[in-house]
Amino acid sequence: MTKKEKVSFVIKTLDALYPTIPIPLDHEDPYTLLIAVLLSAQSTDVKVNQITPLLFEKADNPYDMVKLTIAEIREIIKPVGLSPMKSKGIHGLSQILIDKYDGQVPQDIALLEELPSVGHKTASVVVSQAFGIPAFPVDTHIHRLMYRWGFSNGKNVVQTEKDAKRLFPKELWNKLHLQIIWYGREYSPARAWQLDKDIITKSIGRKKVINDYYKNKKAAK
C-alpha cells in the first residue's frame, strides 16, 4: 500500500469500529473538562472520573473553586497523583479565569497554554472536545500507534502531532484522535499486545515493529 492508501485504510477501519465515540472524561462544560484533563496527567480516565464528581460537588466553576484552599483541593484529588502540583494549578487557573476572562474558558490554544499546569496537549483537548475547534492532541496511545503504523518516527509527541496533522484531513482530527485512543486501548496496547487482534498494525504496520514483535514472542517461549 502507498502511504495515502494506508491512511485511507486507517480512517475506514476506525470508522467501522467506532462510528460514534464517547469523550473519555466525564464533564459538563468547558471548565469541568479543563479540570478533568488537567487531572488526567499521569493518571487514568477511570480514576479521574471517580474523583471529579467529588471535586465538582464542591466546586464546578472557577468562582466556587477559588473559595476552596489549595490544601482542600489537594485532599480531594490525592488519588489521581501529582496532587501538590495539580491543586495549585487548579486554584491558580481558576483565579486567572475570573480575573482575565470573566470566569469563562478561552477558546484559543495559546491563551489556554498560559494557564498554570495547562500544557499543549491539555489545551488541544479542551479546544477540540469543548469547542469543536480542529486539534490533534497526542497522548501515549496515539504516539505509539503513529509509530507502529509507520506514520511517524516516534521521537517525540511534537513531531507525531505534526505528522498526524499532515496526513489526516483537518475535518476528521477531532473524531479521529479519539478513535485512535480507543483503538490503542482495545486492540494495540503497549503491554500484552497481540498482533493478530491488531488488524491495522498487522495490515499496514512498520516492518521493524512487526519483525520485533515476532522476534520477542519467539524469545519468550
- Are residues 125 and 65 located together in one domain of the fold? yes
Q: Is residue 25 part of a domain?
A: no
Give the CA distances from residue 48 to residues 54, 70, 82, 151, 161, in Å, rounded to whole numbers and listed in that order: 10, 18, 12, 30, 25
- Are residues 125 and 40 located together in one domain of the fold? yes
Distance CA 92, CA 219 (A): 51
Please indicate whether residue 42 or residue 50 has the higher confidence score (pLDDT). 50
Exactly one of 45, 139, 162, 202 is catalytic; which is it?
139
Instruction: Say what percent of the chain tops pLDDT 90.
Output: 93
Per the annotation, the verdict on 15 as an active-site residue is: no
Are 171 and 134 in contact by the 8 Å Cβ rule? The answer is: yes
End-to-end, the C-alpha distance of the chain in Å comes to 32
Mean pLDDT in residue range 83-93: 97
- Give the chain's mean pLDDT: 96
- Are residues 80 and 122 located together in one domain of the fold? yes
Check whether 196 has a pLDDT greater than 90: yes
Mean pLDDT in residue range 176-195: 96
Give the CA distances from residue 158 to residues 35, 98, 123, 139, in Å, rounded to whole numbers and listed in that order: 23, 31, 14, 11
The confidence band for 22, taking pLDDT boundaries of 50, 70 and 90, is: confident
Distance CA 86, CA 144 (A): 26
Exactly one of 86, 121, 163, 198 is catalytic; which is it?
121
Boundaries of domain holding 199 = 3-20+137-220
Q: What is the pLDDT of residue 29?
A: 97
Phi first, then psi: what are they for 201, rounded to 5°?
-65, -40
Which range among 19-23, 170-174, 186-190 shows the weakest confidence by mean pLDDT? Answer: 19-23
- Are residues 118 and 173 located together in one domain of the fold? no
Check whether 220 has a pLDDT greater than 80: no
What CATH number corresponds to the domain at position 184? 1.10.1670.10
104-128 pLDDT tens trace: 999 999 999 999 999 999 999 999 9
Q: What is the pLDDT of residue 168?
A: 98
- Are residues 57 and 127 located together in one domain of the fold? yes
Per the annotation, the verdict on 121 as an active-site residue is: yes
**In the listed set 131, 162, 193, which residue is the last one of a domain according to the structure?**
131
